[in-house]
Structure 1
C-alpha cells in the first residue's frame, strides 16, 4: 500500500512539473513576441520625437499631421545638405546659388550681389508693380466660389452658406461686369471682398467630395481658356482692322473736303504755277498718299525745317476717291512759298500699263519679316518692317519726264531738318539713294528673292526717304528690268506685296547709294525701344509699322514728334473730331 501510494505520488509530481515548464515556455514566448512588437514601436516613437518636436509634449504624445510630414522632409533635407555639402566660400557665385536652392523664401534685405543667378537677384531686376490688385483678387475669389458652390448646394444642412455664396457670386459678377480697373470699382468694395472671403473660408471648412470640387475647377479653367482664346483672336482681328482701315474722323475729313470742293468755285491756283511743276532746277518732292492729314503733316514739316522754301515743289499722287479732298485741302492751306501739285493716278496718261494693278498697288509696300538671331545658347526672334517701292514708283521717269532728280517721301514720315543737302550728293552713278537696313541681308530673304544671282551679304534698302536719279534710271531702263522680274513670278503663287518686295530689291541690285543713318530713323511704328536722343538727331522719322501716328494705336511717346507739325486751326478738323 505504502509502496503503491508512493508510486502514485511520484507521478503527480512529474505531471505538475511538466505543466509548470509548459507554462513558463508559453510565457517566455509571449514575452518575446510582445518585446518584438514594443521595440520597433519604441524606436519609431523615439525617431519621431527626435526629429519633429523640439519641445515634446510632457505626456509623450505628439499629433502627426500632413504639415508635420512636410516639415520633417524639408528639415531633414536641409540637414543633409548642410552636413554633406562641400565647404565653399560665401563669396563664391556657386555658394549663393546652392544656398538659395535649399530655402523656401528669400529675405528682402539679403545681399543679392552675392547671390548671382538666384531668384533674389532676378526678382529685384524684374519686379513690376502689380496693377489693379483688387480686381484681380475679386476674379480669384469668384473663381474659387464658383468651384465650391455646386458641392455646397447639394448639402441640405448648408442652406444658409449656399445662399451666402450665391449672393456673393452675383454681387462680384455685377461689379466685374462694370469695372475693369481698380479705379472703376464702386465704394465699399472692401466689405464685399471681406464677405466673399468669409464665405469661401466657411465653404472650405465644410466636408465635401474633393473630386467634385476638382472637377468644377477644371471645368471653369477650360471655360476660361476658351474665353481667353476667343478674346485673343477677336483682339487680333480688331487690331488688324484698326490698322488697315481709315479712322472715322479721317474719313469724315476726306468726305467733307470732297463736298466742299464741288460747292466752291473752281480751283485755278495750280494753273498759275504750272511752270514750276516741270522746272528741273527746283527741288521736287514726290509723295504717294491717300491720307490728307499725313500728307499735310509731311509737307508742313519739310517746309518749316527748310532754310529756303521758294524752290520746293511737292507732287502728291493719290487716287480718284481722295483727289478732290487733297486738291481743296492744299488750296485752303498754304505752306509758305512752297508749291503743291495734286495728281490723280487714274487720269495719268499710262495706256501701256494695267491701271487696275497700279491703283491697287500705288502706295509704298511694307513687308514684315521675322528673323531668328542666335545669341549664345539662346535664340531670339526679331521682327523687322521693310518698306519698298510700289508698282507706280517705277513709272516715275514716265510721269515726270522733264525732271532729272526727285526726292521720294512716304506719307508716314515727318521731317525734322533741312533736306536741301540731299540735292548736292554725288551718287557716283547710283540710281537710288536710300538708308539701308543692315539688320536684314538679302541672303535672309532667300525664300522671297529666289535663286537669282545677287550678293547675299548686301543690306536691304528702305523706302521712306529716297533720292532718285531719274536721268540715270532712264539710261539703264530700270522700269523694264522691274517689269521683267515681276513677270518671272506667277501672280497666283505669291501675293502682290511679295512680288513688289522681290522686284524692288533685285531691280536696284548694286545701284543703291547708302545714305548716312542720321538722315532717316525707322521703326517708330512698331519699335517701343528706340532711343529718344537718336530720334531727336535724325533728319527724317519713319513711322513704318502698324502703329501710325495718326491712329489711336500709335506709340504715345513718338506721337509728339509728328503732332507738332499738324495744323489744328482748320475748322474741319474740329468738326470731324480729328484728334490724333
Structure 2
C-alpha cells in the first residue's frame, strides 16, 4: 500500500513538472495572431517570398572572417529586438551574420546549442544568444577574448552578493540528496550564465561534451527527474565542466543587476530573462 502511494506521488510530481514545461513553452495568443498575419502577408506579397539570404550572400554563412551569431527562437518579435540591437550597436554591422534556428518542435530549441559543431561544420567560432538579450555595445572585441584553449567563454554567476541571480552555484540546480549527484558534483562549484556564450567550435570537436550531456540527460530521465528538474542548463553545466573560460562579468548583465543603471549603460549585453520589473525591462530594451 505504501509503495503504491509513493509511486502515485512520484507520478503526480512528474506530471506537474511536465504541465509546467508545456505551459511555459506554449505560444501566446498575440504571437499566434502575428503568425497568421505574417502567413497572409507571405501569400499575398511576392516580395515577402524572396529567398533569404540572396544567392550571392550564401558564401558568407560559412566565412570565418565574419561575426557569426546563433539565435534559436520561434518568436519573430524578440528576434527582431536582438538583431536590431546588434546592428545598431556594432561599428561594422555589415560583418554580422545571424543564423536563426527555429526547430519544428519548440522543446528542441533548448537543446540546440549542444549540436553547434555539427550544425555549423564550417565555422570555427560563434556567439550563441538567447532570444531575451539586448546588445548594448559593439561586440567586436568579444571575439578576441583568449579562451586559453577552452571551448566556452561565459560569465560565472557566483561572483556577486545578491541572492537571486549572481550567486548561483551547482547546489541551486541539482538535487544533492541524490547519491549520484553527491558523488560526482560539487555543490559549491560556480554556475554560468547561459544567455550569451562564445564557443570555439574547433576546440569543441575534439571533446566528448555532447556524449556527456546525453549520458546525464538520460540518467535524469531514468531517475524520474530526481537529479534536477526539467531544463537544459543542469546537464550543460556538467557537460562543459573543465571546458569553460570565465569572462569579465561586464560583458553580460543578468537579472537583478538591472536596477544599477550605470551597469546597464556600460554592459555589453543585457539579459532580460530574469527581469520581473516591467519598467526596468522597457529601460533595457529602449536604452
- For normalisation by structure 2, the TM-score amounts to 0.79
Taking a change above 3 Å as real, the CA distance of residues 513 and 528 of structure 1, as seen in their structure-2 partners, is closer
Taking a change above 3 Å as real, the CA distance of residues 264 and 560 of structure 1, as seen in their structure-2 partners, is same
Match in the other structure for 1:488: 219
**Aligned 8 A contact 1:486 1:499 in 2:** no
Bigger radius of gyration, 1 or 2? 1
**Structure 1: runs of 5+ lacking an equivalent:** 1-239, 319-344, 347-358, 364-389, 548-553, 565-580
Match in the other structure for 1:284: 68
Provide the aligned length of Structure 1 versus Structure 2.
252
Taking a change above 3 Å as real, the CA distance of residues 498 and 241 of structure 1, as seen in their structure-2 partners, is closer
1:398 matches 2:118? yes
**Aligned 8 A contact 2:62 2:122 in 1:** yes
- Per-residue CA deviations over 1:154-182 (Å, capped at 9, x if unaligned) read xxxxxxxxxxxxxxxxxxxxxxxxxxxxx
1:475 matches 2:259? no
- For normalisation by structure 1, the TM-score amounts to 0.41
**Aligned 8 A contact 1:288 1:362 in 2:** no
SS at match of 2:149: coil
Match in the other structure for 2:279: 556
Cα shift at 1:546: 7.1
For 2:168 and 2:246, how far apart are their aligned partners in 1? Answer: 14
**Structure 2: runs of 5+ lacking an equivalent:** 1-20, 159-166
Tell me whether 486-495 or 412-421 shows the greater mean CA deviation. 486-495
Match in the other structure for 1:413: 133
**Aligned 8 A contact 1:408 1:468 in 2:** yes
For 1:504 and 1:541, how far apart are their aligned partners in 2? Answer: 22
1:442 matches 2:170? yes
Question: Which structure exhibits the higher relative contact order, with contacts defined as CA atoms closer than 8 Å and separated by 6 or more residues?
Answer: 2
Cα shift at 1:515: 1.2
1:431 matches 2:151? yes
Which of 516, 519, 538 aligns to 2:267? It is 538
For 2:223 and 2:254, how far apart are their aligned partners in 1? Answer: 32
Cα shift at 1:451: 2.4
SS at match of 1:498: coil
Cα shift at 1:476: 0.6
SS at match of 2:77: helix
**Alignment of structure 1 residues 315-334 onto 2, 5 Å:** 315-318=99-102
For 1:269 and 1:498, how far apart are their aligned partners in 2? Answer: 35
For 2:123 and 2:116, how far apart are their aligned partners in 1? Answer: 9
Taking a change above 3 Å as real, the CA distance of residues 452 and 303 of structure 1, as seen in their structure-2 partners, is farther
Cα RMSD (Å): 2.7
Taking a change above 3 Å as real, the CA distance of residues 418 and 497 of structure 1, as seen in their structure-2 partners, is farther
Match in the other structure for 1:272: 56
